[in-house]
Amino acid sequence: MMKKRDGRKDRRGFTLAETLIAILILLMVASIVAGGIPAASNTLHKAVDVSHAQVLLSTTMTSLRDELSTARGISFSDGGQTITYVDSLGAQAELKVVSIGGVGEETRGIYLSKHASPDGSEGENTSFSRRLVSQEAATQGLYTKFDTASYSNGIVKIEGLRVYSGDNVLTDLGELTFEIEVIGRLG
């Protein structure tokens, strides 16, 4: 190296050894960070799935409450997995748990069916059947089911309400029973 006029060496830049050590340290840090990205990504995806499942569970509970709180003539069949009733507009309705179907098939879940025009007239028939999940939830393979439903003292009790993805439970109410107070009359 060259000496300056005051007798000190001119040190501009880094030595080869310093540069190699810095690169080695950066490579080690990069490999640690790169190894953590898949784990962080999986954790994020699981958190998003659980969040969607919780929203779907809440939406399902709201739909069930909307349908059953003003129902009349409620009856149960299929071991408590089918609820038949007359809705607030007079249409024959049914909530049914369908448990068949393989992974990726859109046949499992709770279905709402209405059979007849609401006013009982000969006019336009409004019969339909649909799953109690949004289109977005269905495309993600999410669906809801319950184990059994029953009636006691003006309350419809739904046990084992869960949200599934394939055969895996994403969220549920745990040991809690979902209760809906019926304003209408059982007949």
CA atoms within 13 A on the CB side of 95: 30
Closest CA to 119 of 94, 84, 87: 87
Alpha-carbon dihedral sign for residues 66, 67, 72, 77: negative
pLDDT band at residue 187 using 50, 70 and 90 as cut-offs: very low
Helix residue ranges, H only, the chain: 16-68, 135-139
Kindly tell me if the per-residue pLDDT of 105 is higher than 60. no
Please give the structure tokens belonging to residue 39: 């784990």
Flag whether pLDDT at 1 surpasses 90: no
Binned at pLDDT 50, 70 and 90, residue 161 comes out as very high
Dump pLDDT digits (tens) for 123-159.
456 688 888 887 778 778 889 999 999 988 889 999 9
For 50-98, write each residue's pLDDT tens digit: 888 899 999 999 999 999 999 988 999 999 999 999 988 888 999 999 8
With 80 as the cut, is the pLDDT of residue 181 above it? yes
Does 7 have pLDDT greater than 70?
A: no
Q: What whole-number distance in Å separates Cα of residue 172 and Cα of residue 11?
A: 67
69 — phi, psi (to 5°)? -65, -25
Q: Tokens 């399902």 sit at which residue? A: 60
Sheet of 72-77: strands edge to edge? 72-77, 82-86, 92-98, 109-115, 128-131
Parallel/antiparallel/unpaired status of strands 72-77 and 82-86: antiparallel
Say what the pLDDT of residue 128 is.
84
**In this predicted model, what pLDDT tens digit does every residue of 52-63 receive, in sequence order?**
889 999 999 999
Q: Report the pLDDT value the prediction gives residue 151, as an integer from 0 to 100.
A: 87
